[in-house]
Amino acid sequence: MVKIYLGKHVGFCWGVQRVLDLVKKLLGNGEKVHVFGDLVHNDFVIGELEASGVIFHGEDEVWKVGELDGVAVIRAHGTPPEERERLERISRKVFDGTCPIVSRLFEIGEAMEREGYQVCVYGNPQHPEMRAFKGYVKTAAFYPEICEGRKVAILAQTTADFSKFMEYAHSSMGAGKAEVRIFNTICSETLMREKEVREMAKIYDVVLVVGGKKSSNTRKLYEIARNHGTALWVEDVNDLEGYKRHFQGKIGIVSGTSTPMKIVRRIANYIERGGHIK
Ligand code: SF4
């Protein structure tokens, strides 16, 4: 006997939905849409967009390609200002899909740097959002670097783990600091998902975390679930083949913010049918 419990916060977050709606509208208007880097960290979504005509380029190809035969869309993670200027030169028009929560992070970082603070960020400098951030705040330091300077401003990647961010902030409050400003720039959508997965992992036999392997917020959900119970990280039903022994008892399902609801439902149906695709 198996019973499925879907999380309340599953499927796309509104920032991802917003950029996908933008791209679909442009395609509907007959535009040729170019995107540099993954629009979202989900191969299924990227495959669907490619099939609809979106042209994807590598993240670093913005400096290599010539004039584009259409418009460019900036993804939800944002892009460094110099890359945006380059896109403006080579495309017919640039549409900005940067999530407003990510834009707010860039704005705070810029303002703090302008006011003479050493900006320190709890985030992964290789992540596209942080790559874009570095374009706006050239002097930013990133964890695990020690936050030097008398006046420091501490920020987080929007998908960072809140408790680890707080630890980093505390460790940066050492002697010699005249002023420490801490900005909670973590997205509330990811915080709600974290809280929910923590509770689900404690009460259900297993929690399935659905999302792309490149998605940092999915990874974080999986790590939280694993620390509090039994967890599996899957991208689609194919990944469940070897796990049929887990199809019993109470199964919770959550997802990363770039996972479409249809994949979540497909996985729920697959488990309810004992491992058969409808
Ligand atoms: S997770 Fe939050 S910050 Fe990231 S795209 Fe979604 S709403 Fe925006």
Give residue 168 CA to ligand 1 midpoint distance, Å: 22
Q: 14 CB under 6 A from ligand 1? A: yes
What number of CA atoms fall less than 13 Å from residue 151's CA on the CB side? 6
Residue 38 clears pLDDT 80, i.e. is over it: yes
Question: Quick one: pLDDT at residue 112?
Answer: 98
Give catalytic status of residue 241 as yes or no: no
Nearest CA to ligand 1 atom 8: 15
Residue 52 CA, distance from chain mean position = 23
Q: Which one from 83, 129, 196, 235 is the annotated catalytic residue?
A: 129
- pLDDT greater than 60 at residue 277: no
pLDDT > 60? residue 234:
yes
The CB of 158 under 6 Å from ligand 1? The reply is yes
pLDDT tops 70 at residue 158: yes
Name residue, tokens 């299924």.
Answer: 44
**Which whole number is the average pLDDT over 102-112?**
98
Give the residue, by CA position, lying nearest to ligand 1 atom 6.
Answer: 15
Q: Which ligand 1 atom is at minimum distance from the Cα of 13? A: 6
What is the Cβ-side half-sphere exposure of residue 36, based on CA atoms within 13 angstroms? 26
Which among 9, 13, 133 is the best mutation to test ligand 1's pocket, defined by most ligand atoms within 8 Å of the CB? Answer: 13
pLDDT: is 275 or 267 the higher one? 267
39 lines ligand 1 (CB under 6 A): no
Give mean pLDDT, residues 27-48.
94
Percent of the chain surpassing pLDDT 70: 98
C-alpha–C-alpha distance, residues 214 and 20, integer Å: 18
87-96 pLDDT, tens digit per residue, is: 999 999 999 9
Closest CA to 144 of 130, 165, 116, 118: 165
Residue to substitute in 75, 102, 215 for testing ligand 1 pocket (most ligand atoms within 8 angstroms of CB): 102
Residue nearest to atom 5 of ligand 1 (CA): 15
The predicted structure's pLDDT at residue 216: 84
- pLDDT, tens only, 118-139: 999 999 999 999 999 999 999 9
Query: What distance in angstroms lies between residue 7's CA and the mean position of ligand 1's atoms?
Result: 18
- Cβ of residue 102 lying under 6 Å from some atom of ligand 1: yes
For each of the domains in the chain, give its residue range(s) and CATH number, in order of start. Answer: 2-11+189-272 (3.40.1010.20), 14-98 (3.40.50.11270), 101-186 (3.40.1010.20)
Please report which residue ranges of the chain form alpha helices under DSSP H: 14-28, 43-51, 81-90, 100-114, 128-136, 162-171, 188-203, 216-228, 261-272
Q: Which pLDDT does position 178 carry in this prediction?
A: 83
175-227 residue pLDDT tens = 788 899 999 999 999 999 999 999 999 999 999 999 999 888 899 999 999 99
